[in-house]
Structure 1
Amino acid sequence: MYNKGTIIPGLILFVLFVTFPIWFNGLTTAGDLPKPELPPGGEKQCVMPADYMRANHMQLLNEWRDNVLRDGDREILEINGKKYPKGLQMACMTCHSQKEKFCDSCHTYAAVDPYCWDCHLTPNEAGSKEAMH
């Protein structure tokens, strides 16, 4: 009546098929995380530790944006004796000036399209506009 010999193999195939994206993705991308490059002579010390910045840089940038644009708070932060103005161009891009190597490598990997560049000029565009003046 029932084909009992196909139930277990059928369940195994079903589980493999349903979980395929999870284990396939884990096997193929395990060691491929990009390592953003700092430009030669770039600071080794950031406003926060690297692990924190990898996970939370967008929240920090959003907080700075809200402080500066909405609250008018342009307080310069001093961390470990170094002063950092709040701002993408004034703080972050002074060290991380190679957007393609630093920002884009991780954002492309994570399939994230940040909206920073909707308002800010990329470092190359900023340099060319300053050269025109």
Structure 2
Amino acid sequence: MRVMVMVKATEDSEAGILPSNELGEAMGKFNEELVQAGILLSGDGLKPSKFGKRIAFDGDSRRVIDGPFAETRELVAGYWVWEVRDMDEAVEWVKRCPNPMPGPSEIEIRQFYTIEDFAETLTQETIDLHHRNADTLAKQQTEKS
């Protein structure tokens, strides 16, 4: 089961305050454990929302909204993508994580959909299209390595 593990933003992360060396080292060691366990697929920190953009959709129209964005507690400051047995395993790994922020913080775990989750609403042709895209992406990533 693939999950996205999201480190929620704080006032410090939105201000661009970088982690201390001690926190960087602790997170590096935690990431090393994830890699050695075969769980970590990807992950990174995100710059503050003042450097971001949002695109609002309404039918055919598109509107670009410049950051920063309100509601800091609803923003994501970083993420991992993990492959785990189940949600319980993901929770156990997050509980082992160093606090990713200097003060109080939250980490959210969300399961990814698989194309099979949409089998009731998609035609086989559409499912095949998504599988071809995934295969092409995997091939491109292999060629870049």
* Higher fraction of helix: 1
Q: Structure 1 length as normaliser, TM-score? A: 0.25
Q: Structure 2 length as normaliser, TM-score? A: 0.23
* Higher fraction of strand: 2
Larger Rg: 1
Higher RCO (CA < 8 A, seq sep 6+):
2
